[in-house]
Amino acid sequence: MSEDTILYEDSDYKWIMFSFDDEEHEDRFLSLNQYLIISKGSALLIDPGSDEIFEELYAAVARHIDPKKIKLIFLSHQDPDVAGSITHWSVATQAKFVISKIWTRFMSHYGLVDMERLVALEDKGAKLSFGSSVLHFIPAHFLHSPGNFTLYDEKSKILFSGDIGAAVLPPWDVYKEVEDFDKHLPFLEGFHQRYMAGNLFCKKWVSAVRKYEIEQMAPQHGALFKKEELEMFLAWFDNLECGGDIL
Ligand SMILES: [Fe+2]
Ligand SMILES: [Fe+2]
């Protein structure tokens, strides 16, 4: 069962986070976070995840809006825990799927038939008006996927960071928001050292996102980062040796 958390809300704009438990691997807890933005009667869904959670996520979305009103589905990269359910969503909605241009051709391997439904993001990223806000697709290539984007929302000032900031929490201590960065660090370290390609990429992304005023950072796995914890994360990630640096 997913849990719904409202991350932002005003009269015409809403961000909802859905969190799913990875019940198959109870010793190593990898929560899956999906996000839904609703504005002016339309919705945008972020990283819908695998086949396995499709029905539950569909029901969770339906608690907030008719899923047929999802106009866009953003896929930060190609992984199965991000895009595995693309075929289900292509049948259940009329939505377009926004993903890096280097991954569009691979979506047929998840069973997607109508390739016209894909919107290919150029490497440099893009800006898009959605409802009463503007969204920025910020390049985050090689963090970890070679065609990878994070998403900044001007209105809510939320930065969706995909696998950047992802944490594998111990099942006996699962929390929604990072309150003690030092305590959280061991749950970030191994994942980022192994999955992220190298410090050059980390530095580039950190300098790109520092241009925005960020209220909270929302990763695809694990807990939210706000204020000081976000600053501590960015400082840590900016200097992280990972991937090729420690080969
Ligand atoms: Fe991934
Ligand atoms: Fe992931």
Interval 34-55: pLDDT, tens: 999 999 999 999 999 999 899 9
What does the pLDDT read at residue 169? 87
Average pLDDT value over all residues in the chain: 95
What does the pLDDT read at residue 20? 82
What does the pLDDT read at residue 24? 59
CATH 3.60.15.10 holds for 3-246:
yes
Domain spans in the chain, listed from the N-terminal domain onward: 3-246
Beta-strand pair 126-130/133-139: antiparallel
Nearest ligand, measured from the Cα of 142: 1
Omega before 144 within 30 of 0, i.e. cis: yes
Kindly give the distance from the C-alpha atom of residue 223 to the centroid of ligand 2, in angstroms, as a whole number.
13
Kindly give the distance from the C-alpha atom of residue 227 to the centroid of ligand 1, in angstroms, as a whole number.
25
* 96-100, strands of its sheet edge to edge: 3-10, 13-20, 32-39, 42-46, 70-74, 96-100, 118-121
What does the pLDDT read at residue 27? 55
Q: Average pLDDT for residues 213-231, to the nearest whole number?
A: 97
In the numeric block, the tokens 């961000």 are attached to: 15
128 vs 136: CA distance, rounded Å: 6
Kindly give the distance from the C-alpha atom of residue 154 to the centroid of ligand 2, in angstroms, as a whole number.
24
Kindly give the distance from the C-alpha atom of residue 11 to the centroid of ligand 1, in angstroms, as a whole number.
34
pLDDT at 208 over 90: yes
pLDDT at 26 over 90: no
Q: Average pLDDT for residues 155-182, to the nearest whole number?
A: 94
- What are 17's strand-pairing partners? 5, 35
Kindly give the distance from the C-alpha atom of residue 83 to the centroid of ligand 1, in angstroms, as a whole number.
10
- pLDDT category at 134 given cuts 50, 70, 90 is very high
Nearest ligand, measured from the Cα of 30: 2
pLDDT at 30 over 80: no
pLDDT at 232 over 90: yes
Kindly give the distance from the C-alpha atom of residue 156 to the centroid of ligand 1, in angstroms, as a whole number.
24
217 vs 51: CA distance, rounded Å: 26
Provide the percentage of residues in the chain whose pLDDT is more than 70. 96
Kindly give the distance from the C-alpha atom of residue 11 to the centroid of ligand 2, in angstroms, as a whole number.
32
Q: Average pLDDT for residues 163-169, to the nearest whole number?
A: 94
Kindly give the distance from the C-alpha atom of residue 181 to the centroid of ligand 2, in angstroms, as a whole number.
21
Collect residues with CB below 5 Å from ion ligand 2. 81, 163, 220
Handedness of CA 9, 175, 191, 240 (dihedral sign): positive
What does the pLDDT read at residue 173? 85
What does the pLDDT read at residue 235? 98
pLDDT at 25 over 60: no
What does the pLDDT read at residue 23? 60
pLDDT at 28 over 70: no
What does the pLDDT read at residue 161? 98
